[in-house]
């Protein structure tokens, strides 16, 4: 099998209108700068403060790092292509982009699950929390997330590299992903579409449902707590729930396609590749007292050093 005579693909991108392209170039460039600066600022704050000792912020630092990596597999190409005359990508680069997008995206999903587990342990098992969430356990959860994501991504690549591509090479998307590539294969891929929906799609739905159930359990436990502790925990869980919804809902619409979502898959993908990673730092900083205090301390310390 293999890719036969196709050596490169043409990405059709988001828009065909030239005026829209220039406007989007400016908007997406600003979004990408916001994603990089916001997430790197969170990383800098956590690594440079006492927060790094807490499991929740240990996971949050990895989530921010994954956001940067995930968006960086897609955004630079999307932004430069908006002004390019020919939006081509080589076959190998296309496969690599698909692998990394799935790898960093799936790692992010598993880290969100680890964060939900951490909040469950903190709120529902407070007396055993330090034993349950030892640093070794945190490292194991991160390594399991990376390994799970790696296996998932390799499977996506194995599906695509076995397909023959001999006809049209125009990908109706702004980055290489499984469904747009399946449409171009010179063979019947209906069975593969079902396989991907029943793996990636169902995995997304099950993870989302599990996360929502875990937060319902957490929130019902909080109802019996003191108002101050309850308010702090609610604010933390609120941040997590917001991120989960922003990331998972577009993902589910993409990988469990309906008649409408097939046409809107580029719009849905924009949500989880650009918009959610941009809002994550805001969600985790604006709603989080510990982060705000740590940022204030670091900011004051940095300005003091500069003053000297």
Q: Which domains does the chain have, with CATH numbers?
A: 8-303 (1.20.1070.10)
Q: For residue 303, what pLDDT is reported? A: 57
- Cα angle 230, 115, 236 (rounded to 5 degrees) comes to 30
pLDDT digits (tens, 9 = 90+) for 289-298: 777 788 788 7
Residues ≥6 apart with Cβ < 8 Å to 297: 49
Q: With beta carbons less than 8 A apart as the criterion, state whether 187 and 167 touch.
A: no
- Give backbone dihedrals phi and psi of 89, rounded to 5 degrees, phi first: -145, 135
Q: With beta carbons less than 8 A apart as the criterion, state whether 79 and 13 touch.
A: no
Q: How confident is the model at residue 258 (pLDDT cuts 50, 70, 90)?
A: low
- Cα(232)–Cα(116) distance, integer angstroms: 16
- Cα(91)–Cα(165) distance, integer angstroms: 10
Q: With beta carbons less than 8 A apart as the criterion, state whether 52 and 294 touch.
A: no
| 3-class state of residue 3 by DSSP | coil
Which position has the higher pLDDT, 37 or 17? 37
Q: How confident is the model at residue 259 (pLDDT cuts 50, 70, 90)?
A: very low
Do strands 170-171 and 88-90 pair parallel, antiparallel, or not at all (unpaired)?
unpaired
Task: Estimate the crossing angle of helix 135-161 against helix 91-124, to 10 degrees.
Answer: 150
CA nearest 113: which of 204, 196, 246? 204
Asked if the model's pLDDT at residue 243 lies above 50, the reply is yes
Asked if the model's pLDDT at residue 32 lies above 80, the reply is yes
As a whole-number percent, the residues of the chain with pLDDT over 70 amount to 89
pLDDT digits (tens, 9 = 90+) for 106-162: 999 999 999 889 988 888 888 888 889 999 999 999 999 999 999 999 999 998 998
- The chain-wide mean pLDDT, for the chain, equals 84
- Average pLDDT (59-69) is 93
């Amino acid at each position: 099998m293999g890719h036969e005579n196709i050596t490169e693909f043409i990405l059709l991108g988001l828009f065909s209108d030239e005026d829209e392209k220039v406007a989007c170039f400016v908007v997406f460039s600003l979004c990408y700068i916001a994603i990089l600066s916001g997430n790197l600022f969170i990383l800098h704050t956590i690594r440079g403060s006492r927060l790094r000792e807490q499991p929740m912020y240990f996971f949050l630092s990895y989530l921010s790092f994954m956001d940067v990596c995930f968006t960086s597999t897609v955004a630079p190409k999307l932004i430069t292509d908006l002004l390019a005359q020919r939006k081509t990508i080589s076959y190998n680069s296309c496969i690599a982009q698909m692998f990394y997008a799935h790898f960093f995206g799936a790692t992010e999903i598993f880290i969100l699950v680890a964060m939900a587990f951490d909040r469950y342990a903190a709120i529902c098992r407070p007396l055993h929390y330090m034993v349950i969430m030892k640093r070794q356990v945190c490292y194991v959860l991160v390594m399991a997330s990376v390994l799970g994501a790696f296996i998932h991504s390799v499977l996506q690549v194995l599906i695509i590299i076995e397909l023959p591509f001999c006809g049209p090479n125009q990908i109706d998307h702004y980055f290489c992903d499984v469904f747009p590539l399946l449409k171009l294969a010179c063979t019947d891929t209906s069975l593969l579409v079902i396989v991907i929906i029943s793996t990636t799609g169902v995995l997304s739905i099950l993870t989302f449902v599990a996360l929502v159930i875990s937060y319902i359990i957490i929130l019902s436990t909080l109802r019996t707590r003191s108002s101050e502790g309850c308010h702090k925990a609610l604010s933390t869980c609120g941040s997590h729930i917001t991120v989960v919804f922003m990331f998972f809902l577009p993902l589910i619409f993409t990988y469990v396609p309906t008649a409408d979502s097939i046409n809107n898959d580029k719009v849905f993908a924009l949500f989880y590749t650009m918009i959610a990673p941009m809002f994550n730092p805001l969600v985790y900083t604006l709603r989080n007292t510990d982060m705000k205090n740590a940022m204030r301390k670091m900011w004051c310390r940095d300005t003091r050093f500069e003053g000297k």
